[in-house]
């Protein structure tokens, strides 16, 4: 057998835990303490972040299945007006949990019942033996919390965590400091922002390559790349395999072919699934720094995307949009249902929509008639200078 043979494609995987990218199990205290602490954190941060909570309902009585599940239904969905309820009879494996929690910014977990990628360890004498039983679950301790009456970390915890002295320690009663800790952690986890210039279209309505038009002293896709470089960690030009891109510019060849801009975006996420992508079409010759700056400044990482409302039809404009990493599974989900329209994703998903401060800058050039109109605008601006 050829040992170099790979059975599966080599794909870059996001650093998920059991539920999401950012998750902490609270462990070392009674369940009621964990629940109350989680409530305080959620209440303090829910205005800015989508927070999920994981626990297990446990009692000594026989649990009766809710709703129609008791009669044999597999799923039971109900609109409770203030919230929605989905009761599911089948078990959730890790893959299903990650899909379900995808749009959460972070997840708090009752560590007495579930494990998470990182842990917050509460030092409480009454739960010492319980914590000792879970010592192998302490794989990435981010914070120690000292309960009332506790003054130091247990010896068995020190032995299990070689760098325990580098882990911050707070009082369990200091809710403000604990909330600041989580706020800081989420801010530190803000995805880096990459740029993607969509230049892989065939320009059939124009009759020649729109990306190659020289509006500002160089071909348009290079001009757009240089614009995005001011705001992005790195910028790539999305193109077809046969297209040539000058040395010094990053090319990102479509691996989802035949899907237009949708395929370019999915190809970018396939390459770097943990980055946010500022996606811009190459056919926006009036676009300037002031519109891009406003978009980046008002970016909402808690939403699936941050976009502008089109001044031409009032729908979200998908091709000048910041797509967060959490949009990748959403885009794939829409594709699996037969949709490859990024605008449809924006309309039907939790996004932040901005009014464009300079509406004309969102003008697309798709036809020779559009080209002549924009030429006139640019010439008028040049004369005005």
**Position 364 confidence tier, pLDDT thresholds 50, 70, 90:** confident
Would you say residue 270 has pLDDT above 90?
yes
Average confidence score pLDDT of the chain = 91
In this predicted structure, what is the pLDDT of residue 65? 81
319 pLDDT higher than 70: yes
Contact indicator for 280, 318 with CB cutoff of 8 Å: no
Task: Return d(Cα 138, Cα 119) in angstroms, integer.
Answer: 6
Task: Among 82-91, 250-259, 372-381, name the most confident range.
Answer: 250-259
- Least confident range from 9-18, 114-123, 271-280, 373-382: namely 373-382
Q: Is the pLDDT of residue 244 over 70?
A: yes
Residue 346 token pair:
């924006």
Distance (Å, whole) CA 216 – CA 218: 6
Radius of gyration of the chain (CA): 25
Residues 308 and 362: their CA atoms lie apart, in Å, by: 9
Of the two residues 282 and 145, the one the predictor is more confident about is 145
- Express as a percent the part of the chain with pLDDT over 90: 72
Q: Averaged over 139-151, what is the pLDDT?
A: 95
User: Residue 36: what pLDDT?
Assistant: 97
Give backbone dihedrals phi and psi of 373, rounded to 5 degrees, phi first.
-65, -45
Task: Give the integer Cα–Cα distance in Å for 115 and 31.
Answer: 14
Q: What are residue 334's phi and psi, to 5 degrees? A: -65, -40
Whether the per-residue pLDDT at 207 is higher than 80: the answer is no
> Are residues 328 and 345 in contact, defined by beta-carbon separation less than 8 angstroms?
no
Rounded average pLDDT over 104-127: 97
Alpha-carbon distance of 149 to 296, in angstroms, equals 47
| Segment among 56-70, 203-217, 257-271, 322-336 with least mean pLDDT | 203-217
What is the pLDDT, as a whole number, of residue 208? Answer: 45
Higher per-residue pLDDT: 72 or 23? 23
Cite the DSSP H helix spans in the chain. 31-45, 94-100, 128-133, 155-160, 175-188, 220-228, 261-271, 289-297, 327-336, 342-347, 368-384
Edge-to-edge strands, sheet with 352-354:
250-253, 235-239, 193-198, 276-281, 316-323, 305-309, 352-354
pLDDT for residue 117: 97
Extract the tokens encoding 28: 């070392």
Query: What's the confidence (pLDDT) of residue 385?
Result: 64
Place of tokens 């030092």: 123
The closest alpha carbon to 100, from 31, 23, 188, 10, belongs to 23
> What mean pLDDT do residues 264-271 have?
96
pLDDT given for residue 372 in this prediction: 73
Q: Please give the angle made by the CA atoms of 203, 208 and 213, to the nearest 5 degrees.
A: 95
* Dihedral angle computed from the Cα positions of residues 70, 72, 78 and 84, in that order, rounded to the nearest 10 degrees: 80
CB of 262 closer than 8 Å to CB of 340: yes
In 3D space, the residue among 363, 342, 213, 365 whose CA is nearest the CA of residue 287 turns out to be: 363
Confidence category of residue 359, pLDDT binned at 50, 70, 90: very high
Per-residue pLDDT of 151-184, as tens digits, reads 999 999 999 999 999 999 999 999 999 999 999 9
Residue 174 neighbours by CB under 8 Å, 6+ apart: none
The average pLDDT across 71-82 equals 90
Domains, the chain, with CATH or none = 23-56+68-188 (3.40.50.300), 193-384 (3.90.550.10)
Pairing state between β 250-253 and 235-239: parallel
Cα three-residue angle 151-155-160, rounded to 5 degrees:
125
In angstroms, the CA 48 to CA 298 distance is: 13
For every residue of 290-321, DSSP letters joined together read: HHHHHHHHT--TTSSEEEEE-TTTSSEEEEEE
Q: Which of 126, 109, 127 is nearest to 118 (CA)?
A: 109
Q: What is the pTM of this model?
A: 0.92
**Cα–Cα distance, 176 to 167 (Å, whole number):** 18
Q: To the nearest 10°, report the CA torsion of 112, 115, 118, 121.
A: 20
Residues with Cβ < 8 Å from 162, sequence gap 6 or more? Answer: none
């Amino acid at each position: 057998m050829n040992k170099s043979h790979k059975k599966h494609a080599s794909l870059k995987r996001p650093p998920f835990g059991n539920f999401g990218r950012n998750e902490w199990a609270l462990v070392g205290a009674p369940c009621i303490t964990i629940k109350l602490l989680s409530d305080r954190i959620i209440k303090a941060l829910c205005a800015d972040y989508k927070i999920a909570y994981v626990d297990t309902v446990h009692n000594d009585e026989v649990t009766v299945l809710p709703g129609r599940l008791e009669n044999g239904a597999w799923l039971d969905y109900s609109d409770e007006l203030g919230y929605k309820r989905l009761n599911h009879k089948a078990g959730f494996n890790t893959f299903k949990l990650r899909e379900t929690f995808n749009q959460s910014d972070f997840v708090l977990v009752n560590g007495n019942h579930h494990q998470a990628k990182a842990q917050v360890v509460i030092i409480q004498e009454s739960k010492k033996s319980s914590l000792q039983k879970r010592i192998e679950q302490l794989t990435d301790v981010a914070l120690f919390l000292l309960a009332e009456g506790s003054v130091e970390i247990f010896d068995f915890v020190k032995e299990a965590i070689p760098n325990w002295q580098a882990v911050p320690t707070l009082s369990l009663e200091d809710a403000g400091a604990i909330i600041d800790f989580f706020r800081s952690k989420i801010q530190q986890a803000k995805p880096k922002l990459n740029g993607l210039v969509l230049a892989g279209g065939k320009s059939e309505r124009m009759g020649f390559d729109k990306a190659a038009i020289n509006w500002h002293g160089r071909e348009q896709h290079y001009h757009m790349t240089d614009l995005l470089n001011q705001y992005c960690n790195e910028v790539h030009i999305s193109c077809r395999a046969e297209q040539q891109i000058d040395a010094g510019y990053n090319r990102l060849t479509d691996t989802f072919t035949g899907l237009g801009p949708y395929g370019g975006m999915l190809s970018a996420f396939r390459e770097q699934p943990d980055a946010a992508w500022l996606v811009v079409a190459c056919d926006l010759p009036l676009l300037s720094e002031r519109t891009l700056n406003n978009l980046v400044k008002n970016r909402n990482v808690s939403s699936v995307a941050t976009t502008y409302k089109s001044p031409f039809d009032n729908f979200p404009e998908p091709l000048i949009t910041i797509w967060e990493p959490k949009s990748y599974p959403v885009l794939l989900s829409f594709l699996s249902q037969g949709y490859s329209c990024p605008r449809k994703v924006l309309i039907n998903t939790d996004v932040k929509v901005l009014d464009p401060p300079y509406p004309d800058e969102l003008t697309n050039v798709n036809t020779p008639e559009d080209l002549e109109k924009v030429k006139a605008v640019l010439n008028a601006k040049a004369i005005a200078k």
